[in-house]
Amino acid sequence: MARYKLIIAYDGSRFSGWQAQKNAKTVAGTLNEVLSMLYQQDINVYGSGRTDSGVHAIGQVAHCDIDAMPSKEEIQSKLPYGIHIRSLEKTDNRFHARHHAKARSYVYQLSNIKPLFVSKYVWTVEKNLSLPILRQGLEKIKGFHDFASFSAEKDETVSTKVHILDSSYKAYDDAIVLRFVGSHFLRSMIRRVVGTLVALSTDELSLPEFEQCIDTFSLLPSRLTAPPDGLFLEKVWYNSEIEISETIEPPLISSWKNTIR
């Protein structure tokens, strides 16, 4: 039996998250069903991390073990609309998509207009955001912090300390794209960070109040959670040297380049 590494893009609006569930249509569950049917064995796909219902991916990385030599084209032909296999390659039998990941990046897309055709991929914020204030907030979260205020983790054994390697943004005519690069991310963490940053940038929250959410535990970020629509898992790194591109593309453009069906 050989181990294979997959890079996957998907439209999260069509699935109830990544993780396989008995009574819900999920990305991993769909992949498990298709692969098991094609290769006549019980196959389970393990991802670099779980994405919540409605959250998208441009570069989710996963691994699975298959007896036969799989075909990317054959797998793709059986998958439903909304999941695209970007690459499939044989890898070391010890490779683990989650345990061996060194860092991950997510992008979040905001817009000040209501887009007709892509509303499932953006959060419309009709108030004007102060970009200088947004930049200050992004700088504040860089480094090693306890993000307990921004976490929806129910498992108390999970550490809420996360190293944010980079947090930045790129402004376009009608959109702002935020990028977060970190060692890992907690459940709902980015959505709560984004919601709190938007509140900060629209003068609903002061900078000292924002800093307090980082320095001490607060329930405020949970009330400001951004919707999943604009969030995309962008990339996963497995090398110790993490090169972060200065270019931040709107995720729909990046997704188009990676030929999402």
| pLDDT tens figures, 188-232 | 999 999 999 999 999 999 999 999 999 899 999 999 999 999 999
Catalytic residue among 11, 52, 146, 173: 52
Domain range summary for the chain, segments of one domain joined by +:
2-91, 103-241
Would you say 231 and 43 are in contact if contact means Cβ atoms under 8 Å apart?
no
CA-CA distance, 126 to 107, in Å (whole number)?
20
Is 67 designated active site?
no
CATH topology of domain 103-241: Alpha-Beta Plaits (3.30.70)
pLDDT tens for each residue of 223-258: 999 999 999 999 999 988 888 888 887 776 555 545
What pLDDT is attached to residue 255? 53
Rounded-to-integer distance, Cα 214 and Cα 170, Å: 23
Q: Which residues pair with 177 in a beta bridge?
A: 109, 170
CATH architecture of 2-91: 2-Layer Sandwich (3.30)
pLDDT of 148 reads 94
Q: Which pairs with CB-CB distance under 8 Å and at least 24 residues apart come from 134-137?
A: 134/169, 134/176, 134/197, 134/200, 134/201, 135/169, 136/207, 137/196, 137/197, 137/200, 137/201, 137/207, 137/210
pLDDT tens digits along 70-107: 899 999 999 999 999 999 999 999 999 999 999 999 99
List, in order, residues 6 or more apart from 246 with CB less than 8 Å away.
Answer: none
Whole-number pLDDT of residue 254: 55
Q: What DSSP designation does 79 have?
A: S
Number of C-beta neighbours around residue 85 at 10 A: 19
Q: How many other CB atoms sit within 10 Å of the CB of residue 46?
A: 14
Q: So what's the pLDDT on residue 114?
A: 80
d(CA 204, CA 201): 8
Other beta carbons less than 10 A from residue 81's beta carbon: 9
Closest CA relative to residue 180, chosen from 226, 220, 222: 226
Residue range 28-50, pLDDT digits in tens: 999 999 999 999 999 999 999 99
Would 2-91 and 103-241 be classified into the same CATH topology?
yes
Query: Residue 177 corresponds to which tokens in the numbers above?
Result: 């794209």
